[in-house]
Amino acid sequence: MDQLRKCHQIIMPWNYIYQLPDKLDCPELKLLLLCNAGDYLKVPDDFFSEMGELKVISLYGMMLTPSPPSSLCLLTKIQSLEMIGCVLEDISIVAKLKSLEILRLE
């Protein structure tokens, strides 16, 4: 876990992940790409709370209901957010991301 604190990018394409940690302590992280190939994966509410430098998020195959995680609002530097192949309902939380330049939903 100490190595994760130093990461600038996490890229996990087409993995069979069954559970995410409640919180991922990655204060230096700038890019996060998670593609789940199994059943839809639930993203915990505090998952993004320790990722203050995050600028790019790409999520595929996630369960984001009833809304994306509340910790998403803590990402003041986020510029690009992709939620592809995700189960979505209320995404109004995205409007609070003032630095967001790119939003991709499919």
> pLDDT of 36-46, one tens digit each?
988 889 999 99
pLDDT at 37: 86
What CATH number does residue 18 fall under? 3.80.10.10
Residue 96 located in a structural domain? yes
Contact 81/100 with Cβ under 8 angstroms?
Answer: yes
Q: How far apart are CA 106 and CA 102, in angstroms?
A: 13
Residue 17 located in a structural domain? yes
Residue 1 located in a structural domain? no
> pLDDT of 13-67, one tens digit each?
888 888 899 999 999 999 999 999 888 899 999 999 999 999 999 999 999 999 9
Q: 72 lies in which domain range?
A: 9-105
- The DSSP line for 3-42 is TGGG-SEEEEEEE------S----TT--EEEEEE-SSPEE
pTM: 0.91
The domain tally of the chain equals 1
Residue 33 located in a structural domain? yes
Residue 4 located in a structural domain? no
Q: How far apart are CA 76 and CA 86, in angstroms?
A: 23
Residue 18 located in a structural domain? yes
Residue 99 located in a structural domain? yes
Contact 26/47 with Cβ under 8 angstroms?
Answer: no
Residue 41 located in a structural domain? yes
Q: Inform me whether the pLDDT recorded for 1 exceeds 70.
A: no
pLDDT at 96: 95
